[in-house]
Amino acid sequence: MLIPLLENIYRSKDGSRASWIIQFVLVELAVSAAFLLRFDFIIPEAMTRSLLWAMIVWAMIKMPVGRGFGLHLRLWRYFSIPDLKRLMLSNCAGSLLVVFLVLTLCPYSFPRSVVVIDFFLSILFTGSAGAIVRLVAERRPVHVASKQTRALIFGAGAAGVLLLRESLHNSGFARLICGFVDDDESKRGRFIQDVPVLGAGADLEDIVRRRQIDEVLIAIPSAQGPQMRRIIEFCRAAKVTFRTMPAVSEIISNQGLEKQIRDVAVEDLLGRSTFRIDRQQIELKLENRCAMVTGAAGSIGSELCRQIAACRPAALIMFDIAESALFHIEREIRGNYPDLVLYAEIGSAQNRQRLSEVCSRYRPHIVYHAAAYKHVPMMEANVFEAVENNIAGTFNIASIAREYGVEDLVMISSDKAVRPTSVMGATKRISELVVRSLQHPGSRHVSVRFGNVLGSNGSVVPIFKDQISAGGPVTVTHPKMSRYFMTIPEAVHLVLQASVMGKSNEIFVLDMGAPIAIVDLARQLILLSGAKPDEDIRIEFTGMRPGEKLHEELNLADEQIQPTHHPKINIFAGNSISQERMAYHLSVLRAACSRRDLGALVEEMQRIVPDYNVSQELLARIQASTPREMPDVAEPDRLWEQSLNALALQTLQDRGPSVLQSAQLI
């Protein structure tokens, strides 16, 4: 009868009613057993009234005391050491009150030793009841092996135990856990809830064969990249299906863990801990403020919009020239956040008049500038367009933000801006300098440098996946080429965190760990697809493309690294260019674009960024082009002339006559 009652506690929503019944029964059993032990199991007739009095008083005292200690709220299926401590404190408090009543109010002769015996029996009975409930809750169901996937858990740590418990408690967990695999020698041969630790990773092939294992569940969320790759090699050698589970912090509430077990993704091979942001700070930053995202339909921009929308801003402006992509992200965000004030605006960062219309209408407080051309080989072939979009577009954004009193401007940059060897990298470096030069009192302008973003439009991973699905070959430019990688959520978290931490003119960079060799990434993707590199799918080396370099860098030689309170974020502070000097450089660049003078354009970019190393292919194009006389820098087109003049006037107002003296030196 006791076991069904204990099962009632296990199955009920909170078990409080059944818990009261159990507690009452245990109180009465303890006091009765105390009398029996005190009198050698023969209670004298004279003590019968004392026993009845004690049974009534014990229930009246110990039941409310137990409630005061929250025993009725315990989920006994998870009975543990803290619950045992609470039981002991409750029994101790109840026994002290009982002693007081016995000494002062008991009308009958009462043996004092009964109270002491009752105290120990109460702890024994209640503790045993909690343990029995836990055992009932964790009884391993009888599985029919033929209907279930036979699985091993790789990792006998906390995550592995959590996964085992899920298999025991969740009827939808269609796997029979046959054992653990762990490289910790001290765990080998041990049992975890009757499930044995069968061996190490090197023994996996033999274990899979002997135990007829169908699947390996990797339960090491903290595994670094090399460790994860090693585990995958063991699984591949054993010819067994393998999947992984997320970190506990990533498990969505109210969703079974079995739904979160997934295939190993390339992101798991990066080997970095989860990037955490101070969401409360970001929500305070965006609360009652209007945020604007340029390039809102791109990979980074769209994720920025999703994360910003979740922080409940006063309004969100999504600005992009890509009509269809903007339409889709608008529908998604309106569906997920129906109460959000949302504006989808079509326009280009190159169109200063359109930017002015949007900012004049909505008056954003913070602007995230993610609109840019980013593909290195393509920008190497389209230099003028790269300058007009990346540099001129950034200038338009920064100057319009200044004109309309935008408080914060966060510009998305790239690690390719460091000692650039490509047009794309050089334009990003100049864009950083533009943002810094237009900093003015009352505003905060910062830039954020990214590594390669996994899964973004045109990134290497989707290209590799397409090549793998087509049967190969997978093309890699150079066997020694390496890159820093980050995921889209990491990139967006960095942008949001920078908008909170930024003061003025900083460049923020995420600690992206060690660079990853592109050829290793290709091999791992082939393995994850179920094929073998160089056997099922070939890897071909095609040679470096124009503007590419073997290894990327994160900071310039003259940039000082400044730590922040966030362990994963650093600030780089270096040289900047004055507003008037930047206005001059921009005039020269625009004039060169207007006349399509490639040589003059590249020459001016090198003046702005002295460590820009022009690619040989671009130098050959410049030499083959017809030399042109450099146009007068006083001949930029009308909109640029207006914007540069407006910048000069604003500079005069902000900084006074000293600017005129500086301008005369140009």
The secondary structure of 230-281 as a DSSP string is HHHHHHHHHT-EEEE---GGGSPTTS-GGGT-B---GGGGS--PPP---HHH
DSSP H/E element including 343: strand 342-346
pLDDT at residue 71, rounded to an integer: 61
Query: Which of these CATH numbers, 2.60.40.1120, 3.40.50.720, 3.30.9.10, 3.40.50.360, describes 279-573?
Result: 3.40.50.720
> CA 284 → CA 288, 341, 379, 480, distances in Å?
9, 17, 38, 45
Q: In terms of Cα–Cα distance, which of 127, 139, 29 is closest to 87? A: 127
β-strand 191-192 against 195-199: which pairing, if any? antiparallel
pLDDT at residue 633, rounded to an integer: 44
Which of 298-307, 412-421, 452-461, 495-504 is predicted least confidently?
A: 452-461
pLDDT at residue 455, rounded to an integer: 62
pLDDT at residue 629, rounded to an integer: 47
pTM beyond 0.75: the answer is no
DSSP H/E element including 77: none
Q: Is there a contact between 365 and 359 (Cβ–Cβ < 8 Å)?
A: no
Q: Name residues whose C-beta falls within 8 Å of residue 493's C-beta, 6 or more positions apart in sequence.
A: 275, 276, 277, 307
Q: Hey, do 145-264 and 279-573 end up sharing a CATH topology, with the first three levels equal? A: yes
- Per residue in 151-186, pLDDT tens? 898 988 888 888 887 777 666 677 888 889 988 888
Mapped onto helix, strand or coil, the DSSP state of residue 546 is coil
Q: Would you identify the CATH topology of the domain 145-264?
A: Rossmann fold (3.40.50)
DSSP H/E element including 55: helix 48-68
110 has pLDDT over 90? no
Which of 104-118, 303-317, 423-437 is predicted least confidently?
A: 104-118
Which of 226-230, 244-248, 323-327, 596-600 is predicted least confidently?
A: 244-248
The three-state (H, E, C) secondary structure of 319-342, written as one string: EECCHHHHHHHHHHHHHHCCCCCE
Q: Is there a contact between 365 and 408 (Cβ–Cβ < 8 Å)?
A: yes
275 has pLDDT over 60? no
263 has pLDDT over 70? no
Q: In terms of Cα–Cα distance, which of 365, 435, 368 is closest to 404? A: 365
Percentage with pLDDT > 70 across the chain = 74
pLDDT band (50, 70, 90) for residue 449: confident
More confident residue, 407 or 660: 407
Tokens 């045993």 sit on residue: 128
Q: Is there a contact between 145 and 174 (Cβ–Cβ < 8 Å)?
A: no
pLDDT at residue 64, rounded to an integer: 76
Conformation bin of residue 455: beta by default, left when phi > 0, alpha when psi is -120 to 50: left
279 has pLDDT over 60? yes
299 has pLDDT over 80? yes
369 has pLDDT over 50? yes
584 has pLDDT over 80? yes
Domain boundaries, the chain: 2-137, 145-264, 279-573
pLDDT at residue 342, rounded to an integer: 94
pLDDT at residue 410, rounded to an integer: 92
pLDDT band (50, 70, 90) for residue 334: very high
Q: Name residues whose C-beta falls within 8 Å of residue 526's C-beta, 6 or more positions apart in sequence.
A: 468, 474, 532, 533, 536, 537, 539
More confident residue, 72 or 525: 525
Q: In terms of Cα–Cα distance, which of 476, 459, 484, 457 is closest to 537? A: 476
pLDDT at residue 553, rounded to an integer: 63
pLDDT band (50, 70, 90) for residue 390: very high
Query: Rounded CA gap, 414 and 349, in Å?
Result: 18
354 has pLDDT over 80? yes
Which of 270-274, 357-361, 492-496, 662-666 is predicted least confidently?
A: 662-666
324 has pLDDT over 50? yes
pLDDT at residue 637, rounded to an integer: 45
665 has pLDDT over 60? no
Which of 71-75, 164-168, 185-189, 386-390 is predicted least confidently?
A: 71-75
37 has pLDDT over 60? yes
Q: What is the mean pLDDT of residues 201-230?
A: 84
pLDDT at residue 145, rounded to an integer: 42
661 has pLDDT over 50? no
Q: Name residues whose C-beta falls within 8 Å of residue 566's C-beta, 6 or more positions apart in sequence.
A: 278, 497, 501
Cis peptide before 479 (omega within 30 of 0): no
DSSP H/E element including 601: helix 598-608
Q: Whole-number mean pLDDT of the chain?
A: 77
Q: What is the mean pLDDT of residues 361-388?
A: 93
389 has pLDDT over 90? yes
Which of 11-15, 189-193, 617-621 is predicted least confidently?
A: 11-15
Q: How many residues does the chain have?
A: 666
β-strand 444-450 against 507-510: which pairing, if any? parallel
